[in-house]
Structure 1
């Protein structure tokens, strides 16, 4: 179910699913009831509880290969965006006699070759500020990850770290020569060649360079989706599911 999972800070965990978790996307032609069952099974495996202090559902996005970042105060309809940020907030109950910080909303980003990026920082009171971003070729070129970091810092985040999930690597992501030139003109570190000598883009390298320029530490960078059958890959099979990058808080 999990390609990689770890408690990255006390009370904050990050994970990337694999094909064993099933398709988590509603837009690829699978029966929606099957997709929702996969999502519920994933949440149960992680331990999210509808009756606990953390919402029992991950917030997903309607991803459009852009650079819009949405702030998520609480679970709701999936925003049209390619990144989300969530912070701790006040009690959701107006009758509560004491205000307790509400944990950030658990976040999910879906991919099948693009770079799933999850980020964690802390505000001035040491409460977590979390984010998830979808960094495909258009998103890397339009700086969706720097926009996400900017929104986190606007929300008070410091000491931000990032985890990059599995994605297609620079030795496999073949593109036309002009497209390579266009993207590399904006993010030079993406310039690459395939292992068979044709033009390519290295999106993970581009994301790592963008984060380094913002002094954000990359703690993990995953394997190549195309080279691993246990991961969904759009380049390998255009009719395929989506795995997810996840970030959530817990006791």
Structure 2
């Protein structure tokens, strides 16, 4: 069910699901009842009640939503590509884009959690710096990040003009695929942006395109979505 899971600081957990957990997205033509059942299984495995994780409607932008503690998890998810909370469990869905999970604490010890969907447009438009900025506006210090599985620079082929445009905004994304064509290294771009913001990157996952246990849109456009998760618990 979990590709990778760990307690990143006392009481704060980060995980990335795999294909064994099944598709967790409602927007790919899957049976909604089955998707909700799978989400509940993931929540139960994390020690949360059904509906515990807040999902979002991802649109490849750079909007950051704040999810307040007093709000119930929204079945109609906020339209955003990043979320920040002061402890509410959060989820981001991907199938090649870069899922980034972040955690910090306030000076009083309150956790500040975040997730971000860093696809090509999101990396280019600065969704990660915007997420870090919002976390710090909520008082977060000592922010660390975990970069989940995503398509690597050796496998993500793009037109040369697209590579040039994205690399002009984020130079670390410029790459060549393993077969010698223009490519983009989105994980490297995400890492460069986070480090430029003073965020320590603790983990970077493998390539989705190269792993059958992970969903990859480039590998199969009809694929599902796995999730990056952050929550508090025992």
Q: TM-score, structure 2 length as denominator?
A: 0.97
Query: Distance between the aligned counterparts of 1:250 and 1:43, measured in 2?
Result: 12
How far apart, CA to CA, are the structure 2 residues paired with 1:209 and 1:42?
A: 31
Can you list the C-alpha shifts for 1:80-110, whole angstroms capped at 9, x where unaligned? 00000001xxxxxxxxxxxxxxxx1100000
1:32-111 correspondence runs (5 A): 32-49=32-49, 56-73=51-68, 74=71, 75-76=73-74, 77-87=76-86, 104-111=87-94
Could you list the runs of 5+ residues in structure 2 that have no partner in the other structure?
none
Q: Which has more radius of gyration?
A: 1
Distance of 1:109 and 1:189 partners within structure 2: 23
- Distance, in Å, in 1 between the alignment partners of 2:191 and 2:128 is 10
SS in 2 for 1:49: coil
Q: Distance in 2 between matches of 1:39 and 1:7?
A: 20
Note the residue ranges of structure 1 that are not aligned, 5 or more in a row. 51-55, 88-103
Q: Distance in 1 between matches of 2:103 and 2:44?
A: 22
RMSD of the TM alignment (CA)?
0.8
Task: Tell whether 2:136 aligns with 1:147.
Answer: no
What pairs up with 1:157-236 in 2 under 5 angstroms?
157-236=140-219
What per-residue deviation string (whole Å, max 9, x for no partner) do you get for residues 141-185 of structure 1?
Answer: 000010000000000001000000000000000000000000000
1:49 CA displacement: 2.9
How many residues matched? 230
Scaled by the length of structure 1, the TM-score of the pair is 0.91
